[in-house]
Structure 1
């Protein structure tokens, strides 16, 4: 049994990740930023006992540290961290250069950078220090994005924050390997979460599905399966990797 902190686990990919660890017999801290009811629903669906729900705005460095400290107390320690929390792409966070004023541009860049990158940075630091102080091995998996490689012209801050998260993870893979801590990232393409249901059901849905030669989008469960593998002892030698999960919709060279 391992103790797992999953940030942004109230729904979507985070909920699927929390579920797959709980199904493996692990205890999970379900972190959320705003939606307490959704986070409680996630915990209620998890098999097993000893799970926790933890609130915190990861855009606030003090809150990020407190989330880790609360998870350590609730679970008795942390062995695995999954950095999933993010300010997502949406009509409210769209910031194409030609469409927003300078104040909007700054606000969205700061919001996405503070949560998507720095939130993960600060949580990683606190979990890594906890593992090092315990002299214990561990795993950290970051949820990045295909957008880090192909670009997101309507959401440049999102793409940049995810590219930086990939690079941060690789830096930490080198820094933490001497302590027995493996760090890796996954880069999903379009995933069919609850948040995307309306888009997939609209006229735009066919175009989204056509991005992949499989003719569909990915599922949260497929991302969760990859995260479970990367966090396993069998995947230590994959530390430093960025695993593409986009159904061949974008191929890196």
Structure 2
């Protein structure tokens, strides 16, 4: 039985990841920012017992440290960290360079840097220190994005922070390997989360599905299956990997 902290786990990919670990008999801390009801629904539907919820704005470094401390107290320690929480692409966060004013441009970039990158950076530090102090091995998996490689012209801050998250994960893979801690990342393409239901049901849906030669988009469960493997002891030799999960919709060389 491992103790797992999954950030942004109240819905979507985070909920699927939390469920996958719980189904393996692990105990999970479900992190959320503000929607306590959604986080509690995730917790209640997890198989097994001993799960908990932890709240905190990962854009705030002090709150981030408190999230780690709360999860450690509630679970009795952390063995696996999944850095999933992020400010996502949406109409509200669209910031195409030719379309927004300087104020909105700066605000969106800062928000995405604070959460998507620095939130994961600071939480990784806290969990890594906890593992090192215990003399324990562990795993950290970052949820990145296909956009880090192909570019996101309407959401450049999103693509940039995800690319930085991949690079940070590889740096940590080297730094933490002597302590027996593996660090990997996954780079999903378009995933059919609740947030994307309206787009997939609209006229734009066929175009999104056509991005992949499979003629569909990915599912949260497919991301969760990859995360579960990368966090396993058997995948320790994959440390430093950035795994593409985009249905051949973007092939990088």
Partner Cα distance (2:190, 2:82) in 1: 19
Partner Cα distance (1:74, 1:16) in 2: 21
Q: Which residue of 1 aligns with 2:74?
A: 74
CA-to-partner distance for each residue in 1:15-53, whole Å, 9 max, x for gaps? Answer: 000000000000000000121111011001100000000
Partner Cα distance (1:36, 1:100) in 2: 33
Aligned residues: 253
Unaligned runs of 5+ residues in structure 1 are: none
CA-to-partner distance for each residue in 1:202-222, whole Å, 9 max, x for gaps? Answer: 000000000000000000000
Q: Which residue of 1 aligns with 2:88?
A: 88
After TM superposition, which residue ranges in structure 1, 4 or more long, deviate above 6 angstroms?
Answer: none
Q: TM-score, normalised by structure 2?
A: 1.00
Give 1:69 deviation, angstroms. 0.2
Helix, strand or coil: the match of 1:92? coil
Q: Which residue of 1 aligns with 2:173?
A: 173
Helix, strand or coil: the match of 1:186? strand
Q: Which residue of 2 aligns with 1:217?
A: 217
Partner Cα distance (2:62, 2:35) in 1: 20
Q: TM-score, normalised by structure 1?
A: 1.00
Partner Cα distance (2:179, 2:237) in 1: 14
Matched, 1:194 2:200: no
CA-to-partner distance for each residue in 1:154-181, whole Å, 9 max, x for gaps? Answer: 0000000000000000000000000000
Partner Cα distance (1:60, 1:196) in 2: 27
Matched, 1:113 2:148: no
Give the RMSD, CA atoms, in angstroms: 0.3
Partner Cα distance (2:50, 2:44) in 1: 11
Unaligned runs of 5+ residues in structure 2 are: none
Partner Cα distance (2:130, 2:41) in 1: 28
Q: Which residue of 2 aligns with 1:237?
A: 237
Matched, 1:23 2:15: no
Partner Cα distance (2:34, 2:121) in 1: 20
Q: Which residue of 2 aligns with 1:148?
A: 148
Partner Cα distance (1:243, 1:99) in 2: 33
